[in-house]
Amino acid sequence: MQLFENQPLKIYNSLSGKKEVFTPLSKGHVGMYVCGPTVYSNVHLGNCRTFMSFDMIFRYLRHLGYKVRYVRNITDAGHLVDDADDGEDKIAKKARLEKLEPMEVVQRYTVDFHNILDQFNFLPPSIEPTATGHIIEQIEIVKDILAKGYAYEVNGSVYFDVATFNETNEYGKLSGRKLEDMVANTRALAAQDEKKNPQDFALWKKAEPQHIMRWPSPWGDGFPGWHLECTAMSTKYLGETFDIHGGGMDLKFPHHECEIAQAEACYGHSPVRYWLHANMLTMNGKKMAKSTGNNILPGEIFSGENSILSKAFTPSVVRFFMMQAHYTSILDLSNDALLASEKGYQRLMEALTTLPKLTVGTKTDFDIVAWKQGCYDAMNDDFNTPILIAQLFEAVKRINLVKEGKETITAADITLLKESINAFVFEVLGLENERASGVDSNKLGGVVELLIQLRMEARANKDFATSDKIRDQLAALGIQLKDGKDGTTFTVA
């Protein structure tokens, strides 16, 4: 029996606005599509948070025993500068500014994207398709929508007719917007605008002579609209109806709203059963933005080469920080928040190191089975990682009580607790024990123990200057000494 059979999962569906019991279309199988990056610049930390949220969801679904097909696309064409139907293609603009071929830009920033996600310990998706690799499929969808009367062609461009669609469907149901309100709040079209109505959006855009990225189509040389690629790729790999579609909260309108309209126009029914949206990341209480300088790249956090934070923070510390907030909540990044997360992460890793070394008792003063179910209850409540982490620290407290001789635990329960904590910390949350994966622990331990011995000798000789120097210089390297009644121990940040 798989875990999912006795661990019912509830998830918040943005479409219904409430938590729903998750029941996949096909028992034991989950199809999940997540909107990936537009690869024209280094990956934004806020985007990393969105992708990390869905990496955690992917991990937990797999942990429950589901076979998951996870599709996360790469947008390498069609995303215009103003996120609408005007302006220059973001990748083409970057290529022009840097005097590169567009695919050089795509390659450079796709490599950067993968490199950062690898450092954060992401699992790769099952399929990572590109927009340019699916031009044929996008053209076929445009032809189908045109044939069904939900689009119109003007001068080589094809636009989705929102008003016609809304006569039999509901445009705006995901974001809670009404078409009549949108119409009332928009200005009249400019004389040169080709659209019938401002709410209409491009399925295919005619390429002007200066436009580098272009493909032949029945309507002339052009390129696909930004929204079209996700409809083409999600339905190709997951079917005309699939289980989960995810992305950032900022994509709910217009991107995801347009995806729903395209799919309903093409297939006659809603494409997605559960819509999930991750919330934004702010910094020091303000929106992150390059233009204001309130911005930091992941690599700048890892290296410490920035003017915002007091020190470098490792990828696992940053990941632990992000997991401490629910994926649907706004999360604020600050130096103090990262320092607090680092301390919490170190406490967690220290407890994991201590656990197998605990003295075995004849009884357990801690209900491990109930604690473990509490971890599942947290994750089954719309992937509530903050509650899961609170549960983990309850276990940390109990481990330390046993270490101090105030509670006892049996050998069997040490094994059960170790297996359970490892599953939630490493398999579900995706953290890594950076102490264990760094310098050879035996060699490091030997060197530190030697320095501890030298420090003890200095203190015995009342050479407190040398004693303090050893302690302080180790602390500067992230090695904390702890003096206790049984001697001096150390932890590594």
Q: In this predicted model, what pLDDT tens digit does every residue of 268-298 receive, in sequence order?
A: 999 999 999 999 999 999 999 777 888 999 9
Phi–psi pair at 224, nearest 5 degrees:
-75, 155
With 0-12 / 13-18 / 19 or more C-beta atoms within 10 angstroms meaning exposed / middle / buried, residue 8 is exposed
Q: Are residues 67 and 46 in the same domain?
A: yes
Has residue 438 got a pLDDT over 70? Answer: no
Strand partners, 67: 29
Q: Are residues 291 and 418 in the same domain?
A: yes
Q: Is the dihedral of CA 433, 435, 436, 437 positive or negative?
A: positive
- Measured in whole angstroms, the distance separating CA 63 from the mean position of its chain's CA atoms is 17
Domain carrying residue 169? 3-278
What distances in angstroms separate CA 401 from CA 371, 395, 424, 431, one per listed residue? 16, 10, 21, 24
For residue 66, the domain's CATH number is 3.40.50.620
Return mean pLDDT, the chain: 92
Q: Are residues 488 and 347 in the same domain?
A: no
Tell me the C-alpha distance between 401 and 110, whole Å. 47
Which pLDDT score, from 0 to 100, does residue 309 have? 95
| Cis before 254? omega within 30 | yes
Buried b vs exposed e over 171-189: b needs ≥16 C-beta within 10 Å? bbebeebebeebeeeeeee
Q: Are residues 90 and 180 in the same domain?
A: yes
Q: Are residues 230 and 91 in the same domain?
A: yes
Structure tokens at 154: 């003007």
Whether the model clears a pTM of 0.85, i.e. scores above it, the answer is yes
Q: Among 436, 451, 472, where does a domain finish?
A: 436
Q: Are residues 66 and 186 in the same domain?
A: yes
Does 484 or 118 have the greater pLDDT score? 118
Which pLDDT score, from 0 to 100, does residue 90 have? 87
Has residue 351 got a pLDDT over 90? Answer: yes
Count CA within 13 A, CB hemisphere, residue 393: 14
Please write the tens of the pLDDT for every residue from 51-104: 999 999 999 999 999 999 999 999 998 676 655 566 778 888 888 888 888 899
Q: Are residues 179 and 233 in the same domain?
A: yes
Does 78 or 318 have the greater pLDDT score? 318
Q: Are residues 288 and 268 in the same domain?
A: no
Q: Are residues 272 and 286 in the same domain?
A: no
Q: Are residues 229 and 306 in the same domain?
A: no
Look at the chain and report how many structural domains it folds into.
Answer: 3
Tell me the C-alpha distance between 110 and 454, whole Å. 50
Q: Among 278, 295, 321, where does a domain finish?
A: 278
How many residues are present in the chain? 493
Q: Among 389, 410, 436, where does a domain finish?
A: 436
Which pLDDT score, from 0 to 100, does residue 439 have? 47
What residues contact residue 2 under an 8 Å CB cut-off, 6+ apart? 28, 64, 65, 66
Residue range 111-130: mean pLDDT, rounded: 97
Q: Are residues 360 and 243 in the same domain?
A: no
Which pLDDT score, from 0 to 100, does residue 444 have? 67
Structure tokens at 168: 């039999």
Residue range 141-161: mean pLDDT, rounded: 98
Q: Are residues 227 and 325 in the same domain?
A: no
